[in-house]
Amino acid sequence: MKTLKWWQQAVFYQIYPRSFADGNGDGIGDFPGMLARLDHMVELGVDAIWLSPHYPSPFRDCGYDIADYTDVAPEYGSLDGFCRFLTAAHARGLRVIIDLVLNHTSDQHPWFQASRSSRTHPQRDWYVWRDGTPDGPPNNWVSIFGGSAWTYDEATGQYYYHAFLKEQPDLNWCHPDVKEAMWQVVRFWLDLGVDGFRLDAIGTIFEHPDLSNHQFPLTHKPIIDIGSLSGEEIRQILQFQIHQPGLHELMQELRTLVDTYPGERVLVGEDENVMFHGDGDNELHLVFNFPLMQTHALTPAHIRDNQALRLTDLPSGAWPCNTLGNHDVSRMWHRYGDGLHNDALARVHLALLLTLRGTPFLYYGEELGMTDLHFSALSDVRDTIALHQFRLLTEQAGVGYADALQHVLARTRDRCRTPMQWDRSRHAGFSQASSATWLPVHPNYLQGITVEDQKSDPQSMLSFCRQILALRRRTPALIAGDYRVLHPHSEHYLAFLRHDPLSGQLCLILLNFSAHVQELTLTCNRPEARLLFSSGSRSEPQLPLASVTLVPYEILIAELDPCAPYGSD
């Protein structure tokens, strides 16, 4: 059996730079602040950092509208500051991958400024320009953020295409100079020593060249919030705008480039399509298992169905990748809570993420049980997508102010991007700013939802997270083991095995997702197993297998005799 690569063994931790730590007191997170907090990641027990966009940007889409691919936004520091952060992370054994946006730039990027300056400019075709029709735009394509995907440029009399905001024009990847310019960007960061890239919105890179109109029946109505449609509706309404021919060849070319660098640099795709693994070793290394998190409740049945489908669909040689949260969705504590047992459920969900087969990605603050912040006024919102949708609702869809406000405040991504909560000092230790921080700090930092409060409390979420991460690191089966489900019809608990053929270790994982005691029997010719972890009150080091009682929301991990047969009924 092959030795696992570092990215197969690692636990990744996503940092949202603007909200993690402010080192200069201006109310905005930055590289000096992040550098000063690197030891938190080491003490937590993660292995790698995914850094959300840090580039110069007008911040129309929270940094995903990049104005310069080879520099650092001045509010975050400097390129030298980035290099100091990277060096310090590597010195602590932490890998660092950065966000790379291939599909589009900011409309303030010099490339687009040149492109829109004249129809005859050499960089005109670096973006997607088309003449309009008698009805207006070239076709009825929609922006993923709502409204038309075409914006008219008065100066040159043509429309340009944008899969997202009008301030995010799409690059034309059919132009060889665009590809070469972007590959130079990739080389720039790899030469500096980054360990890889998380590739944003890769499914949108190419569009259908015929620009055919969508025939989906909703297209005659204003499309305000694509996120409110079903997955099938989204696929139909974007059928000519996503997952077009050429994508896999492009990813193979990128993989070839990245593989010329030493150290197993990694490519992580923001997409759920396992086809981006290619033949298992010639496209992306990791592709997110988004279907796992696309549910209102993480039930044992949903998880079993997800794993059965996902692990079966992966190409031979490909490696799974799981997450339950990021900068675009409600925080895990809220998203999957029931309103009564959110804290207990959050622990079960963290344990699930860290014991399933594959590379886990954590979102900053999950280790504390940080929660969504509910905004009450539009003036508090910094999420330009939410403000864009508010305008579409009130100006195009005829929705009243109060209803539009309620819709936007319930969905703004700001609710999960609030500053990291370090201690109970002003601004939760995130910043020494004399005035407000860029987003408000959640007031529950005063109730102990902080690193300082939780680090010495053995019952805290932080202590729990550290325990599970430490257990994972020293337990080969939880990293390299295969996955085998047990008790496939149980409604309230999840039972599965992880077996690592190389070490021979076999582990049993039992997760009670309910507020009730669960009784179960494990069919085995060995009477007991060695207990590795339990969130219940278990004093004995051995676990009798003939009759197992799980207390409400218990997390139980045990090591079994690998030579003993185990039933799955």
pLDDT digits (tens, 9 = 90+) for 197-239: 999 999 999 999 999 998 876 554 556 666 667 777 788 889 9
Q: Rounded mean pLDDT of 147-156?
A: 95
Do 548 and 529 contact (CB within 8 A), yes or no? Answer: no
The tokens of 90 are what? 């590597």
* Rg of the chain in Å (alpha carbons): 24
- Distance CA(333)–CA(370), nearest Å, equals 7
Identify the CA nearest to 265 among candidates 180, 200, 190, 318: 190
Instruction: Give me the pLDDT at residue 221, please.
Output: 54
Which three-class secondary structure state does DSSP give residue 443? helix
Q: Rounded mean pLDDT of 472-500?
A: 97
371 pLDDT higher than 50? yes
* E strand map for 73-212: 95-101, 129-130, 150-153, 158-161, 196-200
Q: Which residue is it, tokens 């590739």?
A: 199
- Distance CA(472)–CA(225), nearest Å, equals 39
Domains with residue ranges and CATH for the chain: 6-102+176-207+244-372+445-465 (3.20.20.80), 104-172+215-241 (3.90.400.10), 481-560 (2.60.40.1180)
Q: Which residue is it, tokens 């003939």?
A: 546
Q: Sign of the C-alpha dihedral, residues 76, 414, 361, 225?
A: negative
Return the percentage of the chain with pLDDT > 90, whole number.
Answer: 88
Q: Rounded mean pLDDT of 412-425?
A: 97
Determine if residue 268 is left, alpha or beta; phi over 0 gives left, psi from -120 to 50 gives alpha, anything else beta: beta
Q: Residue 539: which residues within 8 A CB-CB, separation 6 or more? A: none
Q: Residue 410: which residues within 8 A CB-CB, separation 6 or more? A: none
Catalytic residue selected from 47, 65, 200, 366: 200
* Catalytic site includes residue 491: no
Task: Give the model confidence (pLDDT) of 487-546 as tens digits.
Answer: 999 999 999 999 999 999 999 999 999 999 999 998 876 788 999 999 998 889 999 998
Q: 121-141 burial string, b = 16+ CB within 10 Å, else e?
A: eebbebbbbeeeeeeebbbbb
Identify the CA nearest to 250 among candidates 289, 281, 276, 285: 276
- Average pLDDT of the chain is 94
Helix (H) or strand (E) holding 385: helix 384-395
Q: Residue 497: which residues within 8 A CB-CB, separation 6 or more? A: 481, 483, 484, 486, 506, 507, 508, 509, 560, 566
Instruction: Give me the pLDDT at residue 567, please.
Output: 57
Instruction: Give me the pLDDT at residue 1, please.
Output: 46
Task: Give the model confidence (pLDDT) of 247-295 as tens digits.
Answer: 999 999 999 999 999 999 999 999 999 999 999 999 999 999 999 999 9
Identify the CA nearest to 109 among candidates 58, 53, 172, 183: 58
Cα angle, residue 531 at apex, residues 528 and 535 outer, rounded to 5°? 130
Do 324 and 337 contact (CB within 8 A), yes or no? Answer: no
Q: 50-73 burial string, b = 16+ CB within 10 Å, else e?
A: bbbbbbbbebbbbbbbbbbbeebb
Q: Count Cα atoms within 13 angstroms, Cβ side, for 25.
A: 5
Catalytic residue selected from 68, 125, 264, 528: 264
* Catalytic site includes residue 500: no
The tokens of 331 are what? 């925080």
Crossing angle of the two packed helices 384-395 and 401-411, in degrees rounded to 10: 150
Q: Rounded mean pLDDT of 334-357?
A: 97
Task: Give the model confidence (pLDDT) of 73-124 as tens digits.
Answer: 999 999 999 999 999 999 999 999 999 999 999 999 999 999 999 999 999 9
Q: Which residue is it, tokens 């102990």?
A: 448
The tokens of 137 are what? 């735009």
Instruction: Give me the pLDDT at residue 271, please.
Output: 96
**Count of Cβ atoms closer than 10 Å to residue 77 Cβ:** 22
Which three-class secondary structure state does DSSP give residue 100? strand
Instruction: Give me the pLDDT at residue 225, please.
Output: 66
> How far, in Å, are 1, 165, 289, 501, 527 from residue 504 at the CA level?
12, 52, 27, 5, 19
Largest CA distance in the chain: 79
Do 505 and 558 contact (CB within 8 A), yes or no? Answer: no
Of the two residues 219 and 558, the one the predictor is more confident about is 558
Return the percentage of the chain with pLDDT > 70, whole number.
Answer: 96
